């Protein structure tokens, strides 16, 4: 571990994640520090950096972990080409009814870009404006989810793939629902996305894969956007996927991040699910996020899945 920063667990009973303090942004160009940060990320999955400010630090820290790319959903892009915006505004933001409680930009458990064949490696989220309450971001480690999965389910899902389809309407979520949610008002950006859902074909991803760097198995299921199991789009397959998704979202190993200005949170999108608890409907919440390039090589469009492919990167 590097002497250039201090680390602590996110919670004493949590096997993933680390909190980092004392990191001097001026040292981010140091090769040893960069390697130490990357190694810690691979090991822990979620890194919470405290006491860091500003757009340039946000971008430079993100580049430690990979090349930055634009988010493929054009509606999400911010003024800077390497940043995307996640913003709720009381007068026009995305408003969700969650079990009878109105919340701005509530998001179910998901992996980013699971609805396309190339999943980005990660991202760093930074707050600009925070509400007076709520507004947390949740994280679940899918390595831990596989570790705690009953052996009978491990055997049943071995070699299976999940089909995903992009649709931001949480009322249409079929698996791993933690609340009854429905859209009350959609923002202009969400309306634009929903109007062109046909631009996003169905894709498949394996239910389990091994983390390349460690060999640890990942329960690679995103409850939001999942529509079925490839070759088992029937009652049996739906019941199996529902049981696996429920196991994930009911994990006892959930980290809920309480945001403060000066926080930057990095997660490994290949192994960590995240969610947003939403914010009060009359308060603003504004976050900026980078997108770290990557492709674990196992995602395919449904059309390509019918073709025997040998050119995918081994994970």
- Token digits of residue 288: 């900026």
Name the residue ranges covered by the structural domains of the chain.
6-305
pLDDT in tens, 181-193: 999 999 988 898 8
Residues 101 and 91: their CA atoms lie apart, in Å, by 17
Residues 107 and 194: their CA atoms lie apart, in Å, by 15
What is the separation, in whole angstroms, between the first and last Cα of the chain? 25
Whole-number Cα distances in Å, 69 to 63, 119, 133, 256:
10, 12, 32, 27
How does DSSP assign 268-309, residue by residue? ETTTEEEEE--B-TTS-EEEEE--B----S--EEHHHHTS--
Residues 58 and 25: their CA atoms lie apart, in Å, by 10
pLDDT of 75 reads 46
* Strands 46-49 and 18-21, sheet pairing: parallel
Give me the phi and psi of 43, to 5 degrees please.
-70, -45
Kindly state the helix (H) or strand (E) to which residue 40 belongs, with its residue range.
helix 31-44
pLDDT of 277 reads 98
- Count the residues in the chain: 315
How does DSSP assign 274-285, residue by residue? EEE--B-TTS-E
pLDDT in tens, 82-96: 999 999 999 999 999
Label residue 70 exposed, middle or buried (CB < 10 Å: 0-12, 13-18, 19+).
middle
pLDDT of 304 reads 84
pLDDT of 308 reads 39
pLDDT of 189 reads 87
* Residues 170/243, Cβ–Cβ less than 8 Å: no
pLDDT of 248 reads 99
- Token digits of residue 259: 């945001």
Which 3 state secondary structure label does DSSP give 138?
strand
- Name which CATH class applies to 6-305: alpha beta
pLDDT in tens, 203-227: 999 999 999 999 999 999 999 999 9
Return averaged pLDDT per consecutive 10 residues of the chain, 315 residues in all.
90 98 98 98 99 96 95 57 92 96 98 96 98 98 99 99 97 97 93 90 98 98 99 98 99 98 99 98 97 96 63 24
pLDDT of 315 reads 22
Sign for the CA dihedral angle at 151, 10, 70, 181 comes to positive
């Amino acid at each position: 571990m590097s002497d250039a920063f201090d680390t602590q667990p996110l919670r004493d009973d949590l096997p993933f994640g680390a909190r980092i303090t004392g990191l001097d942004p001026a040292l981010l160009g140091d090769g040893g520090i960069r390697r130490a940060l990357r190694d810690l990320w691979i090991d822990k999955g979620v890194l919470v950096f405290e006491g860091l400010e500003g757009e340039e630090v946000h971008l430079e820290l993100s580049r430690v972990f990979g090349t930055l790319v634009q988010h493929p959903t054009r509606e999400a892009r911010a003024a800077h080409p390497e940043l995307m915006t996640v913003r709720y505004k009381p007068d026009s933001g995305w408003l969700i009814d969650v079990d009878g409680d109105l919340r701005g930009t509530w998001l179910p458990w998901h992996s980013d870009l699971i609805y396309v064949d190339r999943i980005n490696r990660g991202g760093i989220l930074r707050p600009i404006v925070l509400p007076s309450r709520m507004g947390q971001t949740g994280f679940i480690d899918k390595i831990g989810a596989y570790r705690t999965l009953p052996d009978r389910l491990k055997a049943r899902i071995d070699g299976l793939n999940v089909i995903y389809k992009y649709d931001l309407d949480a009322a249409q979520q079929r698996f791993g629902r933690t609340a009854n949610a429905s859209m009350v008002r959609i923002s202009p950006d969400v309306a634009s996305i929903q109007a062109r859902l046909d631009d996003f074909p169905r894709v498949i991803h394996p239910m389990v894969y091994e983390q390349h760097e460690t060999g640890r198995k990942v329960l690679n299921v995103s409850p939001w956007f999942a529509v079925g199991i490839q070759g088992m789009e029937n009652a049996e397959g739906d019941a199996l996927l529902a049981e696996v998704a429920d196991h994930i979202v009911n994990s006892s190993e959930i980290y809920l991040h309480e945001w403060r200005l000066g926080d930057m949170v990095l997660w490994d999108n290949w192994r960590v699910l995240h969610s947003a608890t939403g914010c009060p409907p009359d308060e603003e919440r504004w976050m900026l996020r980078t997108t770290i390039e990557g492709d674990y090589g196992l995602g395919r469009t449904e059309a390509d899945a019918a073709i025997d492919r040998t050119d995918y990167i081994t994970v």
